Structure 1
Amino acid sequence: MSYLSIEFGLFFISFLALYWGLNAFPKIQNWLLLISSYLIVFSYSWQFATILFVYTCIIYLFSILISSLKHAKTWLIIAIIVAIANLAVFKYFDFFRHELQTLLNYLNIPILIPLVSVLIPIGISFYTFHSVSYLVSIRKREIAVANFWDFALFLSFFPSIIAGPINRAKDFLPQITVNQPRQIIEPYRALMLIVVSIIKVYCLGELINENWVKPIFANPFEFNSLDLFVGLYAYAIQIYLNFSGYTDLVTGISLLLGFRLPINFNFPYLSLNLRQFWERWHISLSSWIRDYIYIPLGGNRKGFIRTQINVLLAMLLSGLWHGSGLNFVIWGACHGIGIVVLNVGDRYLGREYLIKRFSCIARLITWHYVCFTWLFFYCVTLSDAMDYLTALTHNFAIKSQYWQAFLIIIVIYIIYPKCKHLPVLFTTLLIRLNKLFLPFIFIFILWLAIYFAPSGMPNFIYANF
């Protein structure tokens, strides 16, 4: 069930009425949330719901073992291995089977690894990361072992199970275990976020995808270099609109339910280097990788060279988390190498040498490097990406089919910094408006978005990860 569908909209309105009708009973609200979350997972597949419940039981058992003073560290290591193994079996089995079979064939070893079709459970990456944060928080004594059903809700909470953001147990579980009646949080901002998300994902993102991304990436050799730059720029904009739009939507839904989700985006294309980009893009993932991978590997505490190795490993794992293809590994490697080069420059030229002298050039370089890496994110195979790069670097024909789009994107790039305060401005305007007019304004805006949007229901790109 798509969160942008009419079916979900009707379900959520009905759910909201029942949910707040039980406002005096937060524990019953939790049960309602838990049942609804599992029903949504069940709507994709009953197997997915079963896998989630079994996984929840196993991780909860480990949390009890970790909470005991005996062998807590050992139990934590075993629990994390089990969690990662579960993710690897469902998400990476086919990738590693193919690569291992290729290696065996190359070595002339007559072993045939069986071909097994494995469906990837919806949200498995996100609830795996949620569970790791819970286990580590138990080990650090940041939180006590939760009630089982509260923990089950933490892993399955329907706004964030499909495509994040990644919730930390120490921040989110206290919102579940409240005894006092909840309240709607920032209702005007919540409604604004939902409307903006529909404009981003349903209208703007799909218009860019249909008109620029799909046709250019489908046949790169038919276009000149300028058009191919348009394709890269357009996909960079589309994936931002799609993913940040989804985050806006589930953040708005959560606020209406009385929950706060972590901030996941902060105008990433204003970044002046790759470090800043990862402080602004998918913030819940980058901070999770920092805290649970980079720092445990040693962070920057073991010398300059070891720091760069840790950066590369963290970014490679980030790429592999996004998908099981070689293209995602290359994408992660590109970001890792970029950050290493940035660190080397800081060491020998001075920290933020370019930013302090030519901030506009720094932003331009960062933008183009990020757009270049998105090529490996979009293309299904490495050969597709190489075809695009070949066309980009060889087809310098003067005739351009998308020169108007190129100019539009330049204008967007120039005015983008001026948009930083628009969300606060829109929320302020909504608060000042007469409440009687709000439903009509929202309906009109939504009608415009749907009217201009291409036909069909857009997918959330990050739901695939």
Structure 2
Amino acid sequence: MTIPHMIPYAQPLYFLLLLVALAPIIFSLLVRNKRLPIYQAIVTFFFLFISFGGADWRQGVALFGYVVWQVILVWLYFNYRQQKNATGWFYLAVFLAIAPLTITKIMPLLTDKPISFIGFLGISYLTFKSVQMIMEIRDGMIKEYHPLRYIQFLLFFPTISSGPIDRYRRFEKEELQAPNAEKYVELLGKGVQNIFVGFLYKFIIGYYLGQILEPALKHMVIHNGGISWALLGYMYVYSLYLFFDFAGYSLFAIGTSYLMGYETPINFNKPFLSWNIKEFWNRWHMTLSFWFRDYIYMRLMFFLMKNKVFKSKIVASNVGYFVLFLIMGVWHGLTWFYIVYGIYHATLICLTDAWIRFKRKHKGQLPANKLTHAFAVFLTFQAICFGLLIFSGILNTLLFA
């Protein structure tokens, strides 16, 4: 019997296989409070095989080569980081860690062909894990390097394709200590709930928005030549679709992790109820936002302040925001609308910081009640949706079709 190639969480058969495969793990955690490391490795291999094998076998080869590359790279850095040129080793290690992802982003612009021998589904999220590992080794937060645990961390199949982005130290702690019976029963209930809510989000609401409303509105927008009520409708529908589709996937990944006894961090927390853009990024794709905050923005700010590049902390912070969101935009793709999307959000955050400083200076002089809060949520939602309209690329179609 040929095992079909399946995108994670995209087909009913995938969930059926998941239920059957996880049954022994669930039983062992419920009854014995123990993990089944060998069986879990077999399950991981199986789901990686059906996700990266078959017609996409080149992705599987690329994934294997990538993991070998990162495991050796981290081992070399861990063992040579104490030498005289420690800073040089660190920057070299980070550069080499992101090199495969950089190649997959840049080379298609030069060749008009995907780099199939390097790229694979989820390379970005594995790269974030790899860079995180190197940075935390440098900071002394990771004292020991265990290649096998690192491989388990990289290849944790519930989250491999699109996150959420976990932290190594948290994952390692749970890998070494299975949850007790009371804790696991709680995780089991939350896991089942997340999966069912994920079905609602992705396969019902997301399907209706993305497969029925969005194409119809897009056709109307292009047919009408741009500015119209259809474009406004498309903006809202696309924004909601993006949320329900990705949040649904994240709930599947988190729910599956819970069933396996791992408390993978959540990715979305009611982002459209945010009252400003900074709060939005604390609620939207949270593990990615926090990764960029901790490993790019905070380190850049430390460098700028330590070296007194700017006299004003406010100027340094604003520069940091623009660098951060430009990198985030380029990560999504080397096209003008992703870059504009990054600049747009950096501008909104700088304006939000200025408004927060103004409110603190005039504390007690400005109204603050439920009505003003609701108005702030409303304005923030409009700003978010307009940003996602830029992100969608439809403006590119209208301007350059």
| TM-score normalised by length of structure 1 | 0.73
- 1:291 aligned to 2:294? yes
CA distance in 2, matches of 1:40, 1:145: 33
Paired letter, 1:306? A
Alpha-carbon offset, residue 184 of structure 1: 5.7
Residue by residue, what CA displacement relative to the aligned partner does 1:24-81 show, whole Å, maximum 9, x if unpaired?
5533144224423431442362222222222222222232233332244332211110
Could you say which residue in structure 1 is the equivalent of 2:253? 250
Q: For 1:310-325, what aligned pairs fall within 5 Å after superposition?
A: 310-325=320-335
Could you say which residue in structure 2 is the equivalent of 1:172? 171
Paired letter, 2:197? V
Q: 1:361 aligns with which of 375, 386, 396?
A: 375
Could you say which residue in structure 1 is the equivalent of 2:3? none
Q: For 2:267, what is the secondary structure of its paired residue?
A: coil
Q: 1:373 aligns with which of 367, 370, 387?
A: 387
Query: Structure 1: which 5+ residue stretches go unaligned?
Result: 98-113, 389-465
Alpha-carbon offset, residue 180 of structure 1: 8.4
Q: 1:28 aligns with which of 27, 38, 44?
A: 38
Q: For 1:40-55, what aligned pairs fall within 5 Å after superposition?
A: 40-43=50-53, 45-55=56-66
Alpha-carbon offset, residue 280 of structure 1: 0.6
Alpha-carbon offset, residue 359 of structure 1: 2.0
User: Are residues 351 and 236 of structure 1, via their aligned partners in 2, closer, same or farther at CA, if it must alter by over 3 Å?
Assistant: farther
Q: For 1:204-215, what aligned pairs fall within 5 Å after superposition?
A: 204-215=205-216
Alpha-carbon offset, residue 221 of structure 1: 5.2
User: Are residues 72 and 58 of structure 1, via their aligned partners in 2, closer, same or farther at CA, if it must alter by over 3 Å?
Assistant: farther
Paired letter, 1:195? F
Residue by residue, what CA displacement relative to the aligned partner does 1:146-165 show, whole Å, maximum 9, x if unpaired?
43232112111111111111
Could you say which residue in structure 1 is the equivalent of 2:121? 122
Paired letter, 2:341? W
Q: For 2:300, what is the secondary structure of its paired residue?
A: coil
User: Are residues 78 and 220 of structure 1, via their aligned partners in 2, closer, same or farther at CA, if it must alter by over 3 Å?
Assistant: same
CA distance in 2, matches of 1:190, 1:180: 14
Paired residues, number:
370
The percentage of counterpart residues that share the same residue type is: 26
User: Are residues 208 and 152 of structure 1, via their aligned partners in 2, closer, same or farther at CA, if it must alter by over 3 Å?
Assistant: same
Alpha-carbon offset, residue 294 of structure 1: 0.4
Q: 2:10 aligns with which of 4, 28, 52?
A: 4
CA distance in 2, matches of 1:255, 1:352: 46
- 1:218 aligned to 2:232? no
User: Are residues 12 and 115 of structure 1, via their aligned partners in 2, closer, same or farther at CA, if it must alter by over 3 Å?
Assistant: closer
Contact 2:267–2:287 (8 Å) recurs in 1: yes
CA distance in 2, matches of 1:241, 1:33: 28
User: Are residues 351 and 73 of structure 1, via their aligned partners in 2, closer, same or farther at CA, if it must alter by over 3 Å?
Assistant: farther
Contact 2:125–2:162 (8 Å) recurs in 1: yes
| TM-score normalised by length of structure 2 | 0.83
Contact 1:165–1:262 (8 Å) recurs in 2: yes
Q: 1:234 aligns with which of 220, 237, 243?
A: 237
User: Are residues 297 and 163 of structure 1, via their aligned partners in 2, closer, same or farther at CA, if it must alter by over 3 Å?
Assistant: same
Could you say which residue in structure 2 is the equivalent of 1:304? 314
Contact 1:26–1:181 (8 Å) recurs in 2: no
CA distance in 1, matches of 2:154, 2:326: 25
Alpha-carbon offset, residue 209 of structure 1: 2.2
Residue by residue, what CA displacement relative to the aligned partner does 1:64-112 show, whole Å, maximum 9, x if unpaired?
23333224433221111012221010123223x3xxxxxxxxxxxxxxx
CA distance in 1, matches of 2:230, 2:273: 23
- 1:67 aligned to 2:67? no
CA distance in 2, matches of 1:153, 1:80: 21
Q: For 1:122, what is the secondary structure of its paired residue?
A: coil
CA distance in 2, matches of 1:35, 1:210: 32
CA distance in 2, matches of 1:317, 1:256: 35
Q: For 1:275-286, what aligned pairs fall within 5 Å after superposition?
A: 275-286=278-289
Could you say which residue in structure 2 is the equivalent of 1:58? 69
Alpha-carbon offset, residue 387 of structure 1: 8.1
User: Are residues 222 and 377 of structure 1, via their aligned partners in 2, closer, same or farther at CA, if it must alter by over 3 Å?
Assistant: same
CA distance in 2, matches of 1:237, 1:115: 31
Could you say which residue in structure 1 is the equivalent of 2:396? 383
Paired letter, 1:61? I
Q: 1:270 aligns with which of 256, 270, 273?
A: 273
CA distance in 1, matches of 2:15, 2:199: 12
Alpha-carbon offset, residue 269 of structure 1: 0.5
User: Are residues 355 and 27 of structure 1, via their aligned partners in 2, closer, same or farther at CA, if it must alter by over 3 Å?
Assistant: farther
Alpha-carbon offset, residue 348 of structure 1: 4.3
Paired letter, 2:353? N
Contact 1:319–1:329 (8 Å) recurs in 2: yes
User: Are residues 74 and 58 of structure 1, via their aligned partners in 2, closer, same or farther at CA, if it must alter by over 3 Å?
Assistant: farther
User: Are residues 179 and 270 of structure 1, via their aligned partners in 2, closer, same or farther at CA, if it must alter by over 3 Å?
Assistant: closer
Paired letter, 1:293? I
Could you say which residue in structure 2 is the equivalent of 1:341? 351
Q: Which moved more, 1:253-262 or 1:84-93?
A: 84-93
Q: 1:83 aligns with which of 97, 103, 111?
A: 97
CA distance in 2, matches of 1:352, 1:133: 40
Paired letter, 2:61? T
**Structure possessing the higher relative contact order (Cα contacts under 8 Å, 6 or more residues apart):** 1
Query: Structure 2: which 5+ residue stretches go unaligned?
Result: 1-5
Contact 1:127–1:161 (8 Å) recurs in 2: yes
Contact 2:25–2:35 (8 Å) recurs in 1: no
Question: What is the RMSD of the two structures over their aligned residues, measured on CA atoms?
Answer: 2.7
CA distance in 2, matches of 1:21, 1:208: 38
Contact 1:220–1:387 (8 Å) recurs in 2: no
Alpha-carbon offset, residue 207 of structure 1: 0.8
CA distance in 2, matches of 1:39, 1:22: 24
